């Protein structure tokens, strides 16, 4: 099974072989340098809803 990568700007799909041949890491379709991911751009990004808490908050939540 081939791994596909998705442009994080335009969502263009490329293969691992195509990824290795990119000129300066730019997307062949939109020429963006935002990068590629194995998850399509439209999938929920867990980092968008990530909440960072400090130690005090963690302890308060753990022992309530």
pTM exceeding 0.75: no
Tokens of 40: 């399509």
Identify the pLDDT of residue 2.
85
For residue range 6-50, list pLDDT tens digits in order: 988 899 999 989 988 888 889 999 999 888 888 887 765 655 665
Is the per-residue pLDDT at 53 higher than 90?
A: no
């Amino acid at each position: 099974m081939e791994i596909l990568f998705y442009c994080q700007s335009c969502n263009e799909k490329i293969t691992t072989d195509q990824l290795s041949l990119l000129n300066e890491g730019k997307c062949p379709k939109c020429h963006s340098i935002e990068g590629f991911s194995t998850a399509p751009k439209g999938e929920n990004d867990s980092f968008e809803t990530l909440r960072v808490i400090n130690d005090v908050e963690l302890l308060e939540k753990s022992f309530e």
